[in-house]
Amino acid sequence: EAEVAQSPRYKITEKSQAVAFWCDPISGHATLYWYRQILGQGPELLVQFQDESVVDDSQLPKDRFSAERLKGVDSTLKIQPAELGDSAMYLCASSGRTNTGELFFGEGSRLTVL
């Protein structure tokens, strides 16, 4: 079964350092999402790509977060500098062109900022 790949699974970093997360969606899926899930809460959308273009980044803290999907396949989410409040699970998801809302999630990257 095709899966969404994410790395690293776990990242521990100190405040003010830079971190990066990588995601490879299911092959052929045009839409890619980055969600943030704070412990005890539901996932919240950070950014959505359609192919290589950003569709929605209204909830992305652009002063420190950036995301790219240069070739319309895999994607990188970067945080610089990391803050204590960024500790969370960062989830990548993808969907096909059927536009039903059904998303396929990766296992996530858990970030701990010390």
Partner 1 sequence: AQSVSQHNHHVILSEAASLELGCNYSYGGTVNLFWYVQYPGQHLQLLLKYFSGDPLVKGIKGFEAEFIKSKFSFNLRKPSVQWSDTAEYFCAVNARGADGLTFGKGTHLIIQP
Element (H, E) at 14: none
The smaller minimum CB distance to partner 1, of residues 14 and 56, is found at 56
Q: Compute CA distances 84 → 26, 55, 87, 103, 114, whole Å.
A: 31, 28, 6, 29, 6
101 binds partner 1 (CB under 8 A): yes
Q: How far apart are CA 114 and CA 112, in angstroms?
A: 6
In the bound state with partner 1, the residue whose beta carbon lies nearer, of 82 and 90, is 90
Under the binding rule (CB under 8 A), the answer on residue 94 touching partner 1 is: no
Length of the chain: 114
Q: In angstroms, what is the minimal distance from the CB of 73 to partner 1?
A: 18
Cα–Cα distance measured from residue 30 to residue 52, given in angstroms and rounded to the nearest whole number:
9
15-54 mask for partner 1 (x: CB under 8 A)? ----------------x-x------xxxxxx--x-x----
Residues forming contacts to partner 1 in the complex (CB under 8 A) are: 4, 31, 33, 40-45, 48, 50, 55-56, 91, 93, 95, 99-103, 105-108
